[in-house]
Amino acid sequence: MPDSGLFYKEWKQNKALLTTVFFVLMLSNPFTVLNTYISYQGCVDHQNEWVGNCVFSINYLNGTFISVFWIWGVVLAVSQLGIERSKGLFDFTFSLPYTRGQIYNTKFFTGGMVIVVPQLIGYVLSVFLILLLKPEKVIYFHHLSIGMMLISLMAYSLVMAAGALTGSIFSQLLVSFTVTILPFLLIALPAENLEIIFGHNVAFLNTDIPDWLQYIIPIMFVNPEWVMDSAQYLFFPAAWSGIFYIIGYISFIKLSNERNGYFFLWKALDRPVQLVVIIIGILSFGYFGFTASESFAGYLIGMAAGAVIGFLISYFAIYKKTKLL
């Protein structure tokens, strides 16, 4: 279990950021309600100058800050793992009389609480404001507010897991982004290439894909238009949060910190990931080469270019050590 001493260390180390994130997440939702009400009052006060009727309605799909709350989860996770590792502070942290599991859980619970608790407070304050101000219509309020708690926690869990696997800020962010689009890379990209090679004769390419399947891809939740679909799809960010936490926890307690600055803390991942990057480069550039030239020759040229680019990027990113700050 996390220790109070570790919580205090985490607080002292990231006090300014934790405080900023807490108040931004707590006040943004009520601010949306108040800002819409002020705009409505301005319309009423100058109704003779405005065209049309003044309507006090709140559409949370348009013009709200809460749809980008996931960014704060990324910032927190980078600060807690990426920046601390790049500054070489983990040597001191690991010298303290705590287990690696306690250290990771303290960081995760601190960040998780700073993400979820202020959003919950802001949600409750917004409910009271809506009851007090009585707008004519409130659209997507509950769905988006509750959904962003899960989505921002998913983003935080993902970047924390990436930080537990990697040895620098760059690799932490790159792995995080890759994972958000990984289902697309593993399913859609090979399917597009099979269609180029075999035409429309590949049977599974002609099957209808269920709407919910797109929400397996975490990056789909970056676009707030997910709120127009079923609330049941929020199961995916909730499930991903749990999966990423488990991956991050196991990686943090098992992997050595001695490879600070390298792409992966676990050396055995270097070669397989390099091969995957090269394959993705081949498939991606092959597809774009075919799209640009509409010829099989362009497809082959694109694949060759993708192999070279994938090798160079993977070699210099994975095997070149980053200097500590």
Q: Is 61:228 a contact under the CB 8 Å cutoff?
A: yes
pLDDT of residue 49: 57
CB atoms within 10 A of CB 231: 11
Interatomic CA distance for residues 309 and 278, integer angstroms: 8
Q: Please enumerate in sequence order all residues whose Cβ is within 8 A of that of 160, keeping only pairs 6 or more positions apart, or say none.
A: 77, 80, 81, 107, 108, 111, 244, 245, 248
pLDDT of residue 114: 95
Arithmetic mean of pLDDT, 222-244: 88
| Residue tagged 């640009």 (tokens) | 292
Give CA torsion, residues 316, 165, 71, 23, to 10 deg.
-140
CB burial of 202-220 (b: ≥16 within 10 Å; e: otherwise) equals eeeeeeeeeeeeebebbeb
305: pLDDT strictly greater than 90: yes
Average pLDDT, the chain: 86
Arithmetic mean of pLDDT, 213-217: 83
CB atoms within 10 A of CB 140: 18
Domain range summary for the chain, segments of one domain joined by +: 4-169+218-259, 182-216+266-325
φ, ψ of residue 58 to 5 degrees: the values are -125, 120
Q: Please enumerate in sequence order all residues whose Cβ is within 8 A of that of 292, keeping only pairs 6 or more positions apart, or say none.
A: 298, 302
Interatomic CA distance for residues 268 and 274, integer angstroms: 11
pTM for the predicted model, two decimal places: 0.89
52: pLDDT strictly greater than 70: no
Arithmetic mean of pLDDT, 275-280: 91
Q: What percent of the chain has pLDDT over 70?
A: 93
Give CA torsion, residues 282, 179, 219, 261, to 10 deg.
-100
